[in-house]
Amino acid sequence: MLLYLCEQMIGHTDTLTQADKAIGDGDHGIGMARGFEAVRLKLEGGSFAALDELFKAAGMALITSVGGASGIIFGTWFRGGTKNLAGAATLDSPALSAWLVDGLAAVKERGKTKPGDKTMVDALEPAAAAAEQAAAAPLDEALAAATEAARLGMEATKDMVASMGRAKTLGERSLGHPDPGAVSTYLILRSLWEYTEKSGE
């Protein structure tokens, strides 16, 4: 599943580059590509018994390879989200919920961000809430709900004025563009959902 995610995110390089060019410095696409390439190498290089080890390794790979703001932020999501995953063997709905809820908390602490700051938090927060609500549903439904919530959250960042990261000095000029990190957040969840759909067929 994570391998599929890596492939997908590497494939989205250009989308993310354009998103970051609009209101940032244009490196988010290659940063994420570099990061998920590192995750892929890490996954191929080792075997991971438990889900939390897998996500921790992925998070660490992101932190040490992406650079910029998003390496820490996305790495912290992956790593911080493992707090209550000990023992989980594969991703199921409760694990998804725990991963997103705890990941969100870790990101907010590390990034000192609140919702409305026009960051990936604005996509991750609704996604975490949706996954929490769907914790009893089958995984594909929970992922579908989280993905859709992330998409709406991402769309909503278009109407926000950035107050964090490189876009903050843009002020009003950041209006109309989604936050690149929010786009990534949506794409990450969508990839996981797609994978579940495909493998469930």
Partner 1 sequence: MVRKAKKIFNDPRNVVPEMLDGLVAAYNGRVKKLDGVNAMARVDIPAGKVALLIGGGSGHEPAYHGFVGDNMADGAALGNVFAAPTPDIILEATRAIHRGKGVLYLYGNYAGDILNFDMAAEEGIEVRTLLVRDDVACGPVENRRGIAGAMLAVKIAGGAAATLDTLDDVVRVTSRALENIRSISVALYAGSIPETGEFTFELADDEIEIGMGVHGEAGVWREKMVSTDTLVDRMMEFILRDMPLQRGEEVCVLINGAGSTTAMELLIANRRVLQVLAENGVTVHECVVGSLFTTQEMAGFSISLMRVDDELKRYYDMPIRSFGWTKW
Rounded Cα–Cα distance for residues 166 and 92 (Å): 36
CB 51 within 8 Å of CB 84 = no
Report in angstroms how near the CB of residue 7 gets to ligand ADP at its nearest. 19
Rounded Cα–Cα distance for residues 10 and 42 (Å): 15
**Which of 30, 50, 135, 175 contacts partner 1 by CB under 8 A?**
30
**Which of 3, 25, 41, 114 contacts partner 1 by CB under 8 A?**
25
**Which of 38, 61, 121, 127 contacts ligand ADP by CB under 6 A?**
121
**Which of 10, 135, 152, 170 contacts partner 1 by CB under 8 A?**
170
Segment near partner 1 (CB under 8 A); pick from 1-9, 20-28, 125-133, 142-150: 20-28
24 binds Mg ion (CB under 5 A): yes
166 binds partner 1 (CB under 8 A): yes
27 binds ligand ADP (CB under 6 A): yes
Q: Which residue has the tokens 């563009």?
A: 177
21 binds ligand ADP (CB under 6 A): no
**Which of 2, 17, 27, 91 contacts Mg ion by CB under 5 A?**
27
Instruction: Give 124's contacts (C-beta < 8 A, 6+ positions apart).
Output: 77, 100, 103, 104, 107, 150, 153, 185
CA–centroid distance for 151 within its chain: 12
Rounded Cα–Cα distance for residues 51 and 156 (Å): 31
**Which of 43, 56, 70, 139 contacts partner 1 by CB under 8 A?**
70
CB 164 within 8 Å of CB 111 = yes
CA–centroid distance for 48 within its chain: 21
Query: Nearest residue to ligand ADP, using CB?
Result: 181
Name which of residues 91 to 120 contact partner 1 (CB under 8 A): 110-111
End-to-end, the C-alpha distance of the chain in Å comes to 15
Chain contacts with partner 1 (rule: CB under 8 A) = 17, 21, 24-27, 29-31, 34, 63-73, 110-111, 164-171, 173
